Amino acid sequence: MENSVFTISNLNLHYGTFQALNNINIDIEKNKVTALIGPSGCGKSTFLRCLNRMNDLIDKCKISGNVLYHSEDVYQKNYDVISLRTKVGMVFQKPNPFPMTIFDNVAYGPRCQGLKNKNQLYKIVESSLKKAALWEEVKDRLKESAMGLSGGQQQRLCIARAIAMEPEVILMDEPTSALDPIATLKIEELINDLKKNYAIVIVTHSMQQAARISDNTAFFLSGELIEYNQTDVVFTAPKESKTEDYITGRFG
């Protein structure tokens, strides 16, 4: 597809002998929010981690198939993984700010890439925090520890941290499941805003959340991609019966 950032074809993943992903074919569109839904253990988080090769950290993980990022297979030999991760950012389920100042957290990524100029760093930190809708709340305490922020603020900090790298895609692994409803709402508003500039792939347990914020939805079940379509289609007129069962709450 023209608008794809990621084109995945025939993706299979094994943890040892257990097959976690079975023949996944999907395109991720630019500037859209793609939601991955499905019951626990269906492979959606596993799939997400294939996109930025975070599955490399797990032993005994075997992958076959193609994961093309801008027509280049990210799993090919000598592919620059570090560089991939600067363009495909990730936000985790449990907010994980580093035990450093708020400023240092956001500036971490750019610093790792060699940026030292204080003014540039400051600009990046400011703009990232603004885009993450956190600036107003922390602008006076950038030198304080990030651990002093609330859960919701920490998660937005993690989003700002990812944004600071100016990625093209942001992967989010159940980013609001550890947060209270108000913080969740704030993050959902943020996502809506972010999609103007980034492609977002979000794994979510909540179908309501998927319905609220996503443009495309992919339904996973037992390692297989059952259905992938525009969100309103999936939720109002699903093609597969399994999808309909899941959505209407017959299982999962």
Partner 1 sequence: MSSKRKIIDKLLQITTYFSAIFVVLILSLIFIFVIKNGYTLINWGLITNDYHAQFYNGGIEEITSYSNTDKPDFLTDNDYYSEKWGIAFSDDIDREGKTVIVVSYVAIDSPLNNMFDKNNTDNLDFKIENGNIVTSIKFYDKPSALSMNGAKKMIEALDQENEFREIVFSSLGGGIRGSLITTFYVIGLTLIFALPVGIFTAIYLNEFAKKNRFTNFIRGMIEMLTGVPSIIFGLMGLAVFVPLTIKYTPATSANILSGSLTLAVILLPVIIRSTEESLKVVPDDFRQASLALGANNTQTTFKVVLRSALPGILTATLLSIGRIIGESAALIFAVGTAVKDEISIFGKSTTLAVHIWSLMTDEPANIELASTISIIILATVLFLNLLIKLISRNYMKRINQGG
Partner 2 sequence: MKTLISNIKNLFHFNNKREALDKIVKLVFLLATIISASFIVIITVFIAEEGIKPFITDNNGIGRVDFWKFITGTTWLEGTTFKSNLYGVGYIIVNTLYIAFLSLLIALPIGVLTALFIAKIAPKKLSETLRTIIELLAAIPSIVYGLFGSGVLLPMIYNLAKSFGVQSPGGNSVLATVFVLVLMILPTITALSEVAIRSVGKEIEQGSLALGATKTQTNFKVILTSAKSGIFSSAILGIGRALGEATAVSLVAGNSRTGPNFGVFDITSTLTSTMLQGLKETIGIDYDIRFSVGIILMIVILITNRGLNYVKRKIGNVDVK
Residues that bind partner 1 (CB under 8 A): 80, 82-83, 113-114
Judged by beta carbon distances under 5 to 8 A according to partner kind, the member of partner 1, partner 2, none in contact with residue 145 is partner 2
Closer Cβ to partner 1, 82 or 147, answer by number: 82
Site for partner 2 in 52-91 (CB under 8 A): 52, 54, 57, 82-86, 89-90
Site for partner 2 in 207-226 (CB under 8 A): none
Closer Cβ to partner 2, 95 or 152, answer by number: 95
Judged by beta carbon distances under 5 to 8 A according to partner kind, the member of partner 2, partner 1, none in contact with residue 114 is partner 1
Judged by beta carbon distances under 5 to 8 A according to partner kind, the member of partner 2, partner 1, none in contact with residue 240 is none
Closer Cβ to partner 2, 1 or 60, answer by number: 60
Instruction: Check: CB of residue 76 under 8 Å from CB of residue 131.
Output: no
Closer Cβ to partner 1, 96 or 113, answer by number: 113
Binding mask 15-54 for partner 2 (x = CB under 8 A): -------------------------------------x-x
State the minimum distance, in angstroms, from the CB of residue 112 to partner 1: 9
Closer Cβ to partner 1, 82 or 237, answer by number: 82
State the minimum distance, in angstroms, from the CB of residue 17 to partner 2: 21
Binding mask 159-188 for partner 2 (x = CB under 8 A): --xx--x-----------------------
Q: Quick one: three-class SS letters along the chain?
A: CCCEEEEEEEEEEEECCEEEEEEEEEEEECCCEEEEECCCCCCHHHHHHHHCCHHHHCCCEEEEEEEEECCEECCCCCCCHHHHHHHEEEECCCCCCCCCEHHHHHHHHHHHCCCCCHHHHHHHHHHHHHHCCCHHHHCCCCCCEHHHCCHHHHHHHHHHHHHCCCCCEEEEECCCCCCCHHHHHHHHHHHHHHCCCCEEEEECCCHHHHHHHCCEEEEEECCEEEEEEEHHHHHHCCCCHHHHHHHCCCCC
Q: Per the structure block, which two tokens stand in for 90?
A: 């990730």
